[in-house]
Amino acid sequence: MLQRSNASGGSILNDMLLPLVLLIWTSSKSVTLIPKESVWVYENASSPADGSYLRAWGSEGKSCPSEGEDPGQFSYSYLKWDVAEVPKDAKLVSAKLEFYNVPDPGYSAEAAKKSPLEARSIVGEFDAKTWTFDMATKVRPTPAATGVFGNGYPKEIGAGAPVAITIDLMVGPNLFGKALRTAQDSAAHTLSLSLTAALDPSVDGRTSVYKLYGPADSHENLRPRLVLTFE
């Protein structure tokens, strides 16, 4: 009886340990990154690389210029992250950008839904330290719809409070996972994205723009974040 009890107990213990092992191996791990650099791309920006705010608006229904078109009618922002320490062998299951717009924006939730904040790939490379607007014709957001990783808009806008906006980068059509792997394999280990939007202040009023807290904001909880989840 004692031997049978021990064998049974071992079986019970194994049955208990198996789900625990499975839980350990299937649990997700999230990595949160703050941009190392940012640039506000706008012809009249006096301090484009100070990291205080990120801005985006468009013109005539477009969020960024086509190749060869004058970028002076648009405003968008560039962000760069160091991804050297991001896991390379784990499976990416979620990728999101999290922002906070300044309180009481000049757009409504309905207008933002029609003209959401977009995350796009970038043609060319930017360096915040040497950035000038003259570079905007060569370093620019990918204009085609296929350049978009995802978009987002505020679900609600409360009076006097920062407005949360989340962009799901896995929606596509651009493949974020591929872009992340390319960035990890690069010599600089940096990932660059652009933020664009078709909101048009010339039509909807000068405050109808996305104005987001930047990576240099004094409040850490308001800074833009790239949240990657792996399993």
The CA-based angle 223-90-142, given to 5 degrees, is 55
Q: How far apart are CA 53 and CA 75, in angstroms?
A: 12
Q: What is the pLDDT of residue 28?
A: 75
Q: What is the pLDDT of residue 204?
A: 84
Helix (H), strand (E), coil (C) string for the chain: CHHHHHHHHHHHHHHHHHHHHHHHHHCCEEEEECCCEEEEECCCCCCCCCCCEEEEECECCECCCCCCCCHHHCEEEEEEEECCCCCCCCCEEEEEEEEEECCCCCCCHHHHHHCCEEEECEECCCCHHHCCHHHHHCCEECCCHHHEEEEECCCCCCCCCCEEEEEECCCCCCCHHHHHHHHHHCCCCEEEEEEECCCCHHHHCCCCCEEEECCCCCCHHHCCEEEEEEC
pTM: 0.86
Q: What is the pLDDT of residue 5?
A: 40
Q: What is the pLDDT of residue 87?
A: 94
Are the C-beta atoms of 38 and 226 separated by less than 8 Å?
Answer: no
Each residue's pLDDT, cut to its tens digit, for the chain (231 residues) gives 334 444 444 444 444 444 444 434 446 799 999 999 999 999 999 999 999 999 999 999 999 999 889 999 999 999 999 999 999 999 999 999 999 999 999 999 999 999 999 999 999 999 999 999 999 999 999 999 999 999 999 999 999 999 999 999 999 999 999 999 999 999 999 999 999 999 999 988 889 999 999 999 999 999 999 999 999
Given the candidates 2.60.120, 3.30.110, 2.40.10, 3.40.50, the CATH classification of the domain at 28-230 is 2.60.120
